[in-house]
Every structure is written in structure tokens, then in C-alpha cells.
A and B are shown apart, each in its own frame.
Chain A
């Protein structure tokens, strides 16, 4: 095969070799990375203050420069926050509530997501009369301040006979997670090809089989998204954790609150900071681990409105 190149006039062959301009990208890069780094500083500044403070002793904190690095690094506050800080008579720090938090978070996250995903699935694929109405109510419900609902829910739980139990708390988390999660799942499932659903129906799969065997395996990203939202919300929840349960179930945030919120007495800021960071570690870990899936999941779920 003869290339046309050989036949081209010399002028072209010698033609100005376009220099590969590097500048084209670099100015843009300066803007992009510059902005991102400045913004990152804004995000990181409080974290810096928290970490620095958590490594100082109280006398140093009283001196007052919150930005100054610790003169003398001490891990005392961390130890104290985790294992020694007192809640009334119980002086075993956050560790006391840790397992309770796990005991609350795991079933609450699982059940709230399970319920919301099934709702979203039913709304997206098995639409029935009136479903839209309930969904609209649900979305409006997302705007109701939680506190207002405390008494009615106390009454409902009491009548159901689950007040003060873990079950009750799980129900509450499920209820309050429902609006946003259902929205997420509904949009996600609606974005999946409808033909898959039809194919499964022809194959004889029913409501639950389709959900478990077809939809669920395809929706892991959105489940991760929901999990991140719920883990963060439930893990950091304080109010429901104490209002709707009894002391043997009190989550870690009760300790956190106790450490941070003592009104009369000394505020140990270093312990506060350590406790906050410690408490945040679990959701943070979830973010780190599932960061990539997070973006992908929302992309699939939320893009269709």
C-alpha cells in the first residue's frame, strides 16, 4: 500500500513542526489544583485545630492559642476519651458505648436500608394506585423537625409495646431514614433498564425473587451510598438513642455528649476533640473504604430525577 505521504509536496513534509505546547494545560492546572488546595485547607483547618488541641494538656489549652502546635504532645486525652472519661459513675469513656453503638447501628442501618430499598423498588417497578401520594407525603416528611415527632412516636411505640427496646429504636431510625433513602432507591431502580425486570417476570420470578436475585446484586453501589448516609446519621445520633431506649442500650454518642456537654464543671477541650475524632472514625472508615463506589452509586441513582 502506497502511503499518500510519499507523494505529498516537500513543503508539507518540512512544514512547521507544531511545538507541543505545555502551557496550555499548566495555567488551567494552576487554577484547578490551586483552588482545590485552598479549599482543602478550609476543610482541613478545623481538623488541624481538633488534632492539635487533642494532643495538648489542659494548662496549655487555657493559654489560649488554638493554632499553636502542642509544646508537649500528650495522648492522655485520647486515652481518657476512649477509656476513662466518666459518665456519671461509669468511667470507661467512649469504649462503654462503642458496642452499643455497633449494636444499634448495624440493625438500624440494615433494616432501614432494607425497608427503604424495597419501598424504592416497589415505587419504581411495581407502581400501584396511590403510591405516588404516599411517596409525596414521605418527601414532605423529610422536612419535619425530628423533635416535633418525639411525643407522637413515644405514643406509637408505647402502644406497640416496643418502647424502650432496641426494636423500637430500629423502627425509629427506619422511619426517619425512609424519606431520603426511598428517594435515592426509587430513582436508582427507575434508572435500571425496565426490560430486565420484564425478563425476570417472564422467567417466573415474583416480587421478592426479582428484588433479591436481580435488583439487589445490581445495586450494590447505591446500597453503599445509602449505607454511608445511614451509618453517618445513626452512628452520630444522640437524641433517638437515648429518648427511645434505656441505659443498657445507650450509644457511644451519649458518652460523647456527656464528655462534651457537661454544663457545670470543667470543659476538657482536649478530651472533647479526641472523643469527637474517635467517634467519627467509624463513619470516616466507611468513607475511605467505599469512596469510589459512593460516587458511582449516586451517579446511577440520582441522575434521573
Chain B
């Protein structure tokens, strides 16, 4: 058969990411089609208007990356996206995709519209062993120890907690704190059930207390990008950072070894629970028969075990199916896999909240972390309001 060109847009552009995409492309090309790469850097904010414009403008791509969750919901509702239910049933995705919530996020009114490809988790605390050594305190095992070590670190001229200025970092850190401090149930009550009582309640108040600590500890980070913050940890100028598993790549690139140079604490060492956000591919409805077929081929390829392994090893994320073996994974990744295997997972806030609520939350927390005069009580009140209005 003729090779069909299929344009795939995504925002994976950095070295490791691109290498991972290459795996997808390779696997797809092997099916006799051709992957045409349409990479746009800058995360959703930059890429999304482009993708949406293309789709609504009547010139859609063959497939496009979204964070699975609610980002594409309206496109689906507008009938612009392709229904993958037949394929999913045929290939039995319901069975193989683990955790099941990943596929749930792709399901709208019982129909499946996306193919999940990986799991990224947010719930990690990255610590610089050198920094603690310099401050003369042992490397903490959990969040509380970390907070306790802060004065000593500060005395040594080390910023206890590195936090970049971009809003999503503050919001993400807070989400991590909720799971760690208040636990999985509270997290689900707040974000899945949108229970404003809980959001305004004492459990969350505790989390805000912790966030207040984090705020104090992060004073003096003075960086914008998350990797600049990570760099502070790598160079020992800062002691720790709450950041997703993608931070690992930075340590690796700097030639640091997990355990000796740095330490990773999933769930902040308190609640070893990780979220299962991640990426998925959506397929706009195309008129061209050939291309439609190619779309199916791609969707099917994405979930193949070989593809999953190859892709996620490069990407540094976890595979979406439990039945694959990641022997070559590193230390921290293995910790993640174990937690996943135990089923200690939650859905990511991307999946649970609309982007609108997410954005409001980001605004709130970026303000909270930057503005010491905002009391935890005030912040909690606004937080509860956002949860109340969330859909």
C-alpha cells in the first residue's frame, strides 16, 4: 500500500522528549505510513491555540497531543474528533491501560477519543545531598524533617526550597502538598468531588500552613524557570525542590547520581501516592479515508508494548500499561513504578479540573507564594471559592 502521510502535532521539543517522539515515529513508520512531525514548543499555552485554530479552521492535523483530561472535551463535543471506541474495544484497551483512570479521561459519554501514551507524576521532592552536608544536617526522609532543617540551611546561606516563578510551579507544589499532608481522600474530595466544605475545612487549613512554610522556605529562589530552580538544587545553592518526575533529566544531564548526589522522595516521603497525569493523542475527524486508516494505525501503535517501553524510557515517564517491563529504569523511576504497581495512584488535577479552574488556582498560588502578606486563611478562602465554582 501507499504510505500515508500523517501530520502529528505535539509540544515535545527538548532533547529527551524529541528522542522519545522519534520512537513513536519509528514505530508508526514501520506500519507503512509516514509520521510528519509538527512540533511546537512552549507547552499548551503556545501550542493549543495553534492546534485549535487548525482544527476549527478546517485544516486539521492527523493527530495531536493534549494533556489528557478535559482540554479536548469541547472539540469532542463539537464533533471534530474521531471516535476510537471500535479500535479500543478491538484491542482491549480497557484491560491493558493501567491505571484505568487514564482511559476514563479519554472517555466522553462512553466513547473513547484518545490514546494515552505515558504517565507523569508530580509528587516528588528532590533534595541536594551536598547542601545538607554543608548545613550539617542529615538528608531529610520526609517533608517534616525538611521543614525542620530549614533554619540550619538558611544559616548556611542555602535557600531551603527552590521554587521558580512560573505560576504552574506554585500550583503544582500545592497539589503535591495536599496529597502529602492531607492525604488521598481529601485530595479526591476537593478536586474530584469539588467539595467546598472540605476545601474550606481544617484538613486543608493544615495544608495551607505547610504551604506557608514552603513559602517562607522558598524565599530567595529568585528564578523563573523550573529548570533554573532545579539547577539551584544541583549546584547546592538550594536544598530541595518540589517538582515532577521530569526534573530527573536535569540531574542526569548534570552527571548526578540518584542516592549519592541527590535524593528523591515520592509523595514528599509522607504519603507515597503519585498522580497519573500524562499525555494522550487525539485524532481530529478527517475526511480522507486513507488518513483515517493511518490514524487508527497510529492509535494502535501508540499502545503497543514495544512502543510504550521505547518511548517512556526516553521520555523518563511511566508507561500506561502495567504489563511491560522497564528493567533499565533508574532508581527514582523504579520507586515510581512500585507505587504504581501498589495502586497508590490518584488522578492529576489536569484530569479533574477544567483548565479554567486550574488557571484560577495557578493565579491564586502564584500570588500566595510570592506575596508574604497574604495570610493562609485568606488564601484558603479564595481556594474554597474556586473549588465551589469549579466544574
- Direct A–B touching in the complex (beta carbon < 8 Å)? yes
B144 at the interface (CB under 8 A from A): no
Within 8 A of A (CB), among B11-46: 11-18, 21-22, 25, 35-43, 46
Contact A246 B13 (CB under 8 A): no
Bound CA span A230–B21, Å: 36
Q: Considering only CB atoms, which chain A residue lies closest to B254 in the complex?
A: A62
Contact B39 A62 (CB under 8 A): no
Within 8 A of B (CB), among A243-273: 243-244, 246-247, 254, 257-267
B50 at the interface (CB under 8 A from A): yes
A25 at the interface (CB under 8 A from B): no
A205 at the interface (CB under 8 A from B): no
Bound CA span A163–B53, Å: 10
Residues of A contacting B225 in the complex (Cβ-Cβ under 8 angstroms): 267
Residues of B contacting A164 in the complex (Cβ-Cβ under 8 angstroms): 54, 57-59
Contact B253 A266 (CB under 8 A): yes
Q: Total number of A-B contacts with CB less than 8 angstroms?
A: 114
Bound CA span A157–B53, Å: 11
Give the Cβ gap from B311 to chain A, nearest Cβ, in Å.
13
A32 at the interface (CB under 8 A from B): no
Contact A89 B22 (CB under 8 A): yes
Contact A265 B13 (CB under 8 A): yes
Give the Cβ gap from A286 to chain B, nearest Cβ, in Å.
27
Contact A87 B14 (CB under 8 A): no
Q: Which of A64, A147, A263 has the most CB of B within 10 A?
A: A263
A284 at the interface (CB under 8 A from B): no
Residues of B contacting A258 in the complex (Cβ-Cβ under 8 angstroms): 13, 39-42
Q: A265-B14, A267-B225 are in contact. Are A242 and B21 (CB under 8 A)?
A: no
Residues of B contacting A171 in the complex (Cβ-Cβ under 8 angstroms): none
B246 at the interface (CB under 8 A from A): yes
Within 8 A of A (CB), among B245-261: 246, 249-250, 253-254
B300 at the interface (CB under 8 A from A): no
Residues of B contacting A264 in the complex (Cβ-Cβ under 8 angstroms): 14, 17, 43, 246, 249
Give the Cβ gap from B318 to chain A, nearest Cβ, in Å.
15
Cross-chain contact of B12 among A88, A147, A151, A243 (Cβ < 8 A):
A88
Bound CA span A261–B47, Å: 11
Number of residues on chain B facing chain A (CB within 8 A)? 44
Bound CA span A261–B226, Å: 12
Bound CA span A19–B171, Å: 75
Bound CA span A86–B13, Å: 7
Q: A263-B42, A266-B250 are in contact. Are A243 and B17 (CB under 8 A)?
A: no
Give the Cβ gap from A135 to chain B, nearest Cβ, in Å.
30
Contact A86 B15 (CB under 8 A): yes
Within 8 A of A (CB), among B231-283: 231, 234-235, 246, 249-250, 253-254
Q: A86-B13, A257-B41 are in contact. Are A266 and B46 (CB under 8 A)?
A: no
Residues of B contacting A259 in the complex (Cβ-Cβ under 8 angstroms): 41
Q: Which of A147, A242, A265 has the most CB of B within 10 A?
A: A265
Q: A62-B235, A89-B22, A242-B50 are in contact. Are A266 and B37 (CB under 8 A)?
A: no
B4 at the interface (CB under 8 A from A): no
B107 at the interface (CB under 8 A from A): no
B227 at the interface (CB under 8 A from A): yes
Residues of B contacting A154 in the complex (Cβ-Cβ under 8 angstroms): 53, 56-57
Q: A88-B13, A264-B14, A266-B14 are in contact. Are A158 and B57 (CB under 8 A)?
A: yes
Contact B42 A261 (CB under 8 A): yes
Q: A163-B57, A243-B50, A264-B17 are in contact. Are A88 and B39 (CB under 8 A)?
A: yes
B7 at the interface (CB under 8 A from A): yes
Residues of A contacting B110 in the complex (Cβ-Cβ under 8 angstroms): none
Contact A262 B50 (CB under 8 A): no
B79 at the interface (CB under 8 A from A): no
Bound CA span A263–B244, Å: 12
Contact A88 B10 (CB under 8 A): yes
Q: Considering only CB atoms, which chain A residue lies closest to B36 in the complex?
A: A247
Contact A89 B25 (CB under 8 A): yes
A90 at the interface (CB under 8 A from B): yes
Give the Cβ gap from A63 to chain B, nearest Cβ, in Å.
8
Give the Cβ gap from A169 to chain B, nearest Cβ, in Å.
12
Residues of A contacting B253 in the complex (Cβ-Cβ under 8 angstroms): 266
Bound CA span A264–B10, Å: 13
Give the Cβ gap from B108 to chain A, nearest Cβ, in Å.
23
Give the Cβ gap from B65 to chain A, nearest Cβ, in Å.
11
5 residue pairs, one from A and one from B, having the closest CB atoms: A265-B14, A88-B39, A164-B59, A258-B41, A262-B14
Q: Show 5 residue pairs from A and B whose CB-CB distance is below 8 angstroms, ordered by the A residue.
A: A88-B37, A90-B37, A243-B49, A258-B42, A266-B253
Residues of A within 8 A of B (CB): 62, 64, 86-91, 147, 150-151, 154, 157-158, 163-164, 239, 242-244, 246-247, 254, 257-267
Extra 6 A-B pairs, beta carbons < 8 Å, given A64-B235, A151-B53, A263-B11: A154-B57, A164-B57, A254-B40, A258-B40, A261-B46, A265-B13
